[in-house]
Chains A and B, each alone.
Chain A
Amino acid sequence: MKLFTIALIALLFMVHQDFWWWDDSTVVLGFLPVGLASQMVITLGAGIGWWLATEYCWPKQLDDSPIDESKKESER
Chain B
Amino acid sequence: MTPLTIIVLYLCLLLGVAVLSNVFLKKTAGDFFLASRSIGPFMLFMSLFGTTMTAFSLTGSSGFTFKNGIVTYGLMGSWSALVHPLIFFLVGAKVWALGKRHGYLTQLSYLRDRYQSSFLTLLLFPLLVGFIMLYVLMGAIGAGSALQGIAGLEYKWGVALVSSVVLVYVFFGGMRGTAWANTMQTLVFLIMGAVAFVVIVSDLGGPQEATRQVIEHANAEVAKRAVRTDFNKGVFASYCLIPISVGMFPHLFQHWLTAKKASNFKLSVAAFPFCILILWAPCVLIGMWATASLPLEVPGNEVLPRMVSAHAGNVLSGLIGAGILAAMMSSMDSQFLCLGSMFTNDFYLHFIAKDRPSERSVVWMGRMFVISIVVATYFIALYCPKKSVFGLGVWCFTGFTSLFPILVGGLYWKRSNKYGAIASVVVVACMWLYYIDRALEPGGFLLLGVLPVVLMLAASTLAFVVASLVTPPPDEAHIAKFFAPGPG
What total of chain B residues lie within 8 Å of the partner, measured CB to CB?
67
Known contacts: A43-B277, A59-B93, A74-B28. The answer to whether A35 contacts B228 by CB under 8 A is: yes
Stretch of B46-54, B77-85, B451-459 at the chain-chain interface: B77-85
Q: Could you mark each residue 97-119 of chain B with 1 if its beta carbon is under 8 Å from any beta carbon of chain A, else 0?
A: 11011111110010001000000
Residues of A within 8 A of B272 (CB): 47, 50
Q: How far is the CB of B370 from chain A (nearest CB, A)?
A: 19
Contact present for B262 and A63 (CB under 8 Å): yes
Contact A23 B30 (CB under 8 A): no
Task: Enumerate chain A residues within 8 angstroms of B109, measured Cβ to Cβ.
Answer: 76
Q: Roughly how many angstroms separate A32 CA and B272 CA in the complex, as a whole number? A: 23
B103, A33: Cβ atoms closer than 8 Å:
no
Would you call A31 and B101 a contact (CB within 8 A)?
Answer: no
B273 touches A43 (CB 8 A): yes
Within the complex, which residue of A31, A36, A60 is in contact with B208, where a contact is CB–CB below 8 Å? A31
A62 interfacial contact with B, CB 8 Å: yes
Q: How far is the CA of A51 from the CA of B270 in the complex (A)?
A: 4
- Cβ of B269 under 8 Å from chain A: yes
Q: Are B230 and A73 in contact (CB under 8 A)?
A: no
Q: Which of A1-37 contact B (CB under 8 A)?
A: 9, 12-13, 16-18, 21-25, 27, 30-33, 35-36
- How many whole Å from A55's CB to the nearest CB in chain B? 8
Most buried by A among B94, B233, B236, B277: B277
Give CA–CA (A66, B236) in the complex, Å. 43
A57 CB, nearest partner CB in chain B, Å: 8
CB neighbours (8 Å) of B269 from chain A are: 50-51, 53-54
Which residues of the partner chain B approach A60 to less than 8 Å between Cβ atoms?
Answer: 263
Q: With A39-B78, A62-B96 given, is the CB distance from A27 to B211 under 8 Å?
A: yes
Does B276 make an interface contact (CB < 8 A)?
A: yes
Asked whether, in the complex, the Cβ of A76 is within 8 Å of the Cβ of B81, the reply is no
Q: Are B103 and A35 in contact (CB under 8 A)?
A: no
A71-B103 in contact (CB<8A): yes
Contact-residue size bin, chain A (C-beta under 8 Å from the other chain) = 35 or more
**Is A46 in contact with B85, judged by CB distance below 8 angstroms?**
yes
Q: Which residue of B lies closest to A61 (CB)?
A: B486
B261 at the interface (CB under 8 A from A): yes
Q: Are B229 and A22 interface neighbours, CB within 8 A?
A: yes
Inter-subunit contact B211/A65 (CB<8 Å): no
B383 sits at the interface (CB 8 A): no
Query: For A35, what are the chain B residues with a Cβ–Cβ distance below 8 Å?
Result: 70-71, 74, 227-229
A41 → chain B, closest Cβ, in Å? 9
Q: Which of A9, A21, A43 contacts B78 (CB 8 A)?
A: A43
Interfacial residues of chain B within 362-390, with CB under 8 A of chain A in the complex: none
Tell me whether A65 and B97 are in contact in the complex, defined as CB-CB below 8 angstroms, given that A54-B266, A73-B29 are known contacts: yes
Q: Is the CB of B70 within 8 A of A62?
A: no
Q: A47-B81, A73-B29, A76-B104 are in contact. Are A23 and B229 (CB under 8 A)?
A: yes
Residue in B closest to A64 when the chains form the complex, CB atoms:
B486
A46→B82 contact, CB < 8 A: yes
Is B485 an interface residue, CB under 8 A from the partner? yes
Give A22 to B233 CA distance when docked, in angstroms.
9
Partner of A22, one of B96, B206, B230, B274: B230
A30 to chain B: which residues have CB within 8 Å?
A: 207-208, 211
Q: Which residues of B contact A16 (CB under 8 A)?
A: 74, 78-79, 82, 240
- Determine if B103 and A73 form an interchain contact, defined as CB atoms under 8 angstroms apart: yes
Q: Is B475 an interface residue (CB 8 A)?
A: no
Contact A36 B262 (CB under 8 A): no
Residues of B near A53 (CB, < 8 A) are 85, 89, 269-270
Residue numbers in A under 8 Å from B34 (CB-CB): 73
Q: Please indicate which of the listed interface residues B93, B100, B270 has the most CB atoms of chain A within 10 Å of its own CB.
A: B270
Which residues of B are found within 8 Å of A31, using beta-carbon distances?
206-208, 210-211
Chain A residues with Cβ under 8 A from B266's Cβ?
Answer: 54, 58
User: Could you tell me if A50 and B102 are in contact, using CB atoms closer than 8 angstroms?
Assistant: no
Let me know if B273 and A36 touch, CB within 8 A: no
Chain B contacts for A25, CB-based, 8 A: 215, 224, 227-228
Cβ-closest chain A residue relative to B274? A47
The answer to whether the Cβ of B281 comes within 8 Å of any Cβ in the partner chain is: yes
Question: For residue A68, which residues in chain B have a CB less than 8 angstroms away from its CB?
Answer: 101-103
8 new A-B contacts at CB < 8 Å, known A43-B273, A47-B274, A62-B94: A17-B233, A22-B233, A31-B208, A50-B270, A54-B270, A67-B100, A76-B103, A76-B106
Binding site for B on A (CB under 8 A): 9, 12-13, 16-18, 21-25, 27, 30-33, 35-36, 39-40, 42-44, 46-47, 50-51, 53-54, 57-68, 71-76
What are 23 inter-chain pairs, A to B, with CB distance below 8 A?
A: A17-B236, A17-B237, A18-B236, A22-B228, A25-B224, A33-B227, A35-B71, A35-B228, A35-B229, A47-B270, A47-B277, A50-B85, A54-B269, A54-B270, A58-B263, A62-B93, A62-B262, A62-B263, A67-B103, A72-B103, A74-B28, A74-B105, A75-B103
